Amino acid sequence: MDRTASGWGSGLLGVVIFSGSLPATRIAVGGFPPLFLTSTRAVIAAVLAAALLAAMRQARPRAGDLVPLLLVSLGVVAGFPLLTALALQHVTAAHSIVFIGLLPLATAVFGVVRGGERPRRAFWVFSILGSAAVAGFALAEGGAASSTGDLLMLAAILLCALGYAEGATLSRRLGGWQVISWSLLLSAPAMAVVALATSPGNFGLVTLPEWLGLAYVSVFSMLVGFVFWYHGLALGGIAGVGQLQLLQPFFGLALAGLLLAEPVAPQMVLVAGLVTLCVFAAKRFAR
């Protein structure tokens, strides 16, 4: 298997793992405050990352890697988890998942700005088409949505895309799992302080599903998924493999309906289907 095909396969596995993030977060915020959830998931993942780095005897990053690693931390360790947790207090997981369809376009833009990639013009046409379908759905839903929740989701998307592009560029040299592991370690002290300061008063009121939601976003969303995702972006290209995120709404909507019994409107399925077609078209013109 060539590097590009391997990258797309690894990226797809990362997308499947990430698809459970918003439903799991939606469950977890029922028992944990958003700040506590965001910080605790990062601390748990950082402990696992530290053990992994020690076991594999990884050398410390260079001084010049510090700023990119901090941007990764800002985007995917702190920014995206916190903003989505806040958004999910205003919108359903099914609604928020559709906004993930904006991630490929945002990631591609940051891939050009920060990663030096230059996709062909047709790529942008299909990427914009998929993103426009997502934005159109959000506008058409009108009063059923929350403007606060939508704005929080948009901010989360921008920070996440920045973290993806920075991490993918750095992964070409450090490796995918090393990038997310070092980013988690850099943010761990601040996250530990926040976790202690925002700890809920009575953990006995937290239900088993809420604990499981915390476990999923800590282990899979915060660490395991990024191992495959950054590896895929580094091998297959940030803009190209990033289009696989257009498949995430499809997987996520199915999980929201199955696990949370949330209503999945026909138009949601239509949008997810349209953006899925766009990923295959954009793939042809990614390089």
- In tens, the pLDDT along 218-276 reads 999 999 999 999 999 888 888 888 888 877 777 877 777 777 777 767 777 787 778 77
Of 155, 150, 125, 130, nearest in space to 139 by CA: 150
Range from 42-51, 201-210, 261-270 carrying the lowest mean pLDDT: 261-270
Cβ 116 vs Cβ 77: under 8 Å: no
Find the distance separating the first CA and the last CA of the chain, reported in whole Å: 18
Q: What is residue 48's predicted lDDT score, i.e. its pLDDT?
A: 96
Dihedral sign from CA coordinates of 214, 261, 228, 61: negative
What are all long-range contacts of 123-130, with beta carbons under 8 Å and residues at least 24 apart?
123/239, 123/240, 123/282, 123/285, 123/286, 126/278, 126/281, 126/282, 126/285, 127/239, 127/243, 127/278, 127/282, 129/278, 130/101, 130/104, 130/105, 130/243, 130/246, 130/274, 130/275, 130/278, 130/279, 130/282
pLDDT mean over 30-53: 94
DSSP assignment of 47-106 equals HHHHHHHHHTTPPPPPGGGHHHHHHHIIIIIIIHHHHHHHHTTTS-HHHHHHGGGGHHHH
What domain count does the chain have?
1
| Domain coverage including residue 247 | 3-283
Q: What is residue 198's predicted lDDT score, i.e. its pLDDT?
A: 93
Q: Is 215 exposed, middle or buried (0-12, 13-18, 19+ CB in 10 A)?
A: middle
Q: What is residue 136's predicted lDDT score, i.e. its pLDDT?
A: 74
> Would you state the structure tokens that stand for residue 74, as one six-digit string?
């800002």
pLDDT mean over 16-44: 90
Residue 38 to residue 43: CA distance in whole angstroms:
9
Q: What is residue 267's predicted lDDT score, i.e. its pLDDT?
A: 75
The answer to whether the pTM exceeds 0.85 is no
Range from 187-191, 206-210, 274-278 carrying the lowest mean pLDDT: 274-278
- In tens, the pLDDT along 129-166 reads 877 777 777 666 554 557 888 889 889 999 999 999 99
Q: What SS3 class is residue 284?
A: coil
| pLDDT score of 42 more than 90 | yes
Instruction: Tell me the chain's radius of gyration from C-alpha atoms.
Output: 18
